[in-house]
């Protein structure tokens, strides 16, 4: 018949596209992560934290001088100074408090930037804090922007910016009174734990600021509001907080100190030269006057 050679209707264009099947490795990874989370929750419920024992561990850790020196940062903002627990102290608090999972995950890496998540999870109480942010693969130095091409530079940039968010997440799941008590204990350890007198420590600090960051004694005196001979223990602690903030990348030296440019040095040199010329002319005039009197 006339219809024998005709094919039936084509329904391919009306059928939904088949979804791609996930690979075996991805499914295995998801299953492993799920089992790890279940195991962590089970262990947290089986062995809940003893808050008094955890608090005692924190107080004992804060008696270590090295930790006490790195426990607090400080940086200026809007005419006032902002201070708080450092990244190192937050990590120690999480370790001593127990049953807390924290870290940084790079969710996606695109050309020129990375999508990153920092988190802290109290497994026992199921309290979680997380922050998602974008890290640009570039480093700013003054008014110049350098693109980061090396994978190691990108990793260090992500880890550095991620550590700050992790600190905020950890402090968001640990009770605030515990954090405040840890800071007070660290300050007490600093005041009690130095073998060298204050004058020697200040002299070494001034030398280190000059050698590493090009910050002079005059700049530090202007920042603290008094001469170096009048620095107190609290001034030394403030200076230590500035050092940690600069070292950890929390702030720049320009945030604390008035840095002199080459033009400033040239103007100062010109002013000094003018003063010398003026003093020399005055001295010469006085000598000529004395000779005329004779």
Return the pLDDT at 290: 57
Looking at residue 294, its pLDDT comes to: 54
| Dihedral sign (CA 76, 103, 169, 55) | negative
**In-domain check, residue 92:** yes
Does a structural domain hold residue 269?
A: no
pLDDT of residue 280: 67
pLDDT range class, residue 289, cuts 50, 70, 90: low
* Radius of gyration for the chain, computed over Cα atoms and rounded to the nearest angstrom: 31
Give the pLDDT band (50/70/90) at residue 80: low
Share of the chain above pLDDT 90, in %: 34
Is the domain of 71 the same as that of 176?
yes
235 and 116 together in one domain: no
pLDDT tier at 196 (50, 70, 90 boundaries)? confident
Q: pLDDT digits over 9-33, tens only?
A: 555 555 566 566 666 666 776 777 7
DSSP-assigned letters across all residues of 189-200:
HHHH---S-HHH
In the chain, how long is the greatest CA-to-CA distance? 146
Residues 81 and 221 in one domain: no
Residues 85 and 178 in one domain: yes
Q: Would 115 be classed as within a structural domain?
A: yes
* Residues 167, 124 share a domain: yes
In 3D, which of 147, 114, 120 has the Cα closest to residue 133?
114
In this structure, are 64 and 200 located in the same domain? no
N- to C-terminal Cα separation, the chain: 146
The answer to the question of residue 274 being in a domain is: no
Residue 89 shares a structural domain with residue 47: yes
pLDDT at residue 227 tops 70: yes
Q: In whole numbers, what is the pLDDT of the chain averaged over residues?
A: 82
Q: Are 169 and 213 found together in one domain?
A: no
- Report the C-alpha gap between 54 and 218 in whole angstroms: 44
Which of 129, 157, 185 is the last residue in one of the domains?
185
Structural domain of 95: 34-185
% of the chain exceeding 70 in pLDDT: 77
* Distances 78 to 25, 118, 250, 267 between C-alpha atoms, Å: 51, 27, 16, 29
Residues 161/36, Cβ–Cβ less than 8 Å: no
Do 257 and 215 meet the contact criterion of CB atoms below 8 Å apart? yes
Burial letters 198-234, b for 16+ CB under 10 A, else e: eeebbeebbeebeeebebeeebbbebbeeebeebeee
Evaluate whether residue 237 is within a structural domain. Answer: yes
Same domain? 181 vs 199: no
Beta strands in the chain (DSSP E): 72-77, 80-85, 100-110, 113-122, 127-136, 138-141, 144-147
Residue 18 lies in a domain: no
Question: Model confidence over 234-285: pLDDT tens digits?
Answer: 788 888 888 988 888 888 888 888 876 555 545 655 666 667 777 666 666 6
142 with 221, same domain: the answer is: no
pLDDT of 132-171, one tens digit each?
Answer: 999 999 888 767 888 888 889 889 999 999 998 999 999 9
In this prediction the pTM is 0.64
Judge if 156 and 201 occupy the same domain: no
- The percent helix, strand, coil of the chain (3-state, each to 5) is 60, 15, 25
Q: What pLDDT is attached to residue 82?
A: 77
Q: What is the total residue count of the chain?
A: 294
Number of domains in the chain: 2
Average pLDDT over residues 118-145: 89
Q: Which of 234, 226, 227 is nearest to 198 (CA)?
A: 234
Task: Answer with the one of 185, 212, 238 that is the final residue of a domain.
Answer: 185
Tell me if 294 is assigned to some domain: no
* Same structural domain, 141 and 82: yes
Give a yes or no: residue 285 inside a domain: no
Asked if the model's pLDDT at residue 89 lies above 90, the reply is: yes
Q: Which pLDDT belongs to residue 265? A: 46
> Residue 249: what pLDDT?
82
Quick one: pLDDT at residue 230?
A: 83
């Amino acid at each position: 018949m006339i219809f024998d050679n005709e094919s039936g209707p084509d329904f391919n264009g009306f059928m939904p596209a088949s979804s791609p099947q996930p690979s075996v490795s991805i499914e295995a990874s998801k299953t492993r992560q799920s089992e790890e989370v279940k195991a962590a929750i089970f262990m947290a419920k089986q062995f809940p934290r003893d808050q008094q024992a955890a608090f005692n561990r924190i107080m004992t850790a804060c008696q270590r001088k090295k930790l006490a020196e790195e426990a607090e940062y400080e940086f200026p903002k809007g005419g006032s100074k902002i201070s708080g627990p450092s990244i190192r102290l937050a990590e120690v608090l999480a370790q001593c408090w127990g049953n807390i999972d924290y870290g940084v995950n790079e969710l996606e890496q695109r050309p020129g930037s990375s999508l990153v998540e920092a988190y802290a999870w109290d497994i026992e109480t199921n309290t979680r804090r997380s922050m998602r942010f974008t890290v640009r693969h570039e480093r700013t130095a003054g008014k110049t922007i350098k693109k980061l091409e090396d994978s190691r530079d990108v990793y260090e940039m992500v880890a550095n910016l991620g550590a700050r968010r992790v600190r905020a997440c950890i402090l968001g799941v640990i009770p605030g009174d515990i954090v405040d008590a840890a800071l007070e204990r660290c300050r007490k350890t600093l005041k009690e734990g130095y073998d060298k007198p204050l004058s020697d420590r200040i002299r070494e600090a001034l030398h280190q600021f000059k050698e590493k960051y090009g910050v002079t004694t005059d700049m530090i005196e202007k920042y603290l509001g008094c001469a170096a001979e009048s620095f107190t223990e609290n001034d030394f602690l403030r200076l230590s907080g500035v050092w940690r903030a600069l070292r950890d990348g929390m702030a720049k030296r320009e945030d604390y100190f008035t840095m002199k440019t080459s033009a400033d040095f040239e103007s100062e040199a010109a002013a000094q030269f003018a003063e010398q010329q003026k003093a020399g002319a005055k001295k010469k005039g006085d000598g000529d006057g004395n000779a005329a009197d004779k």
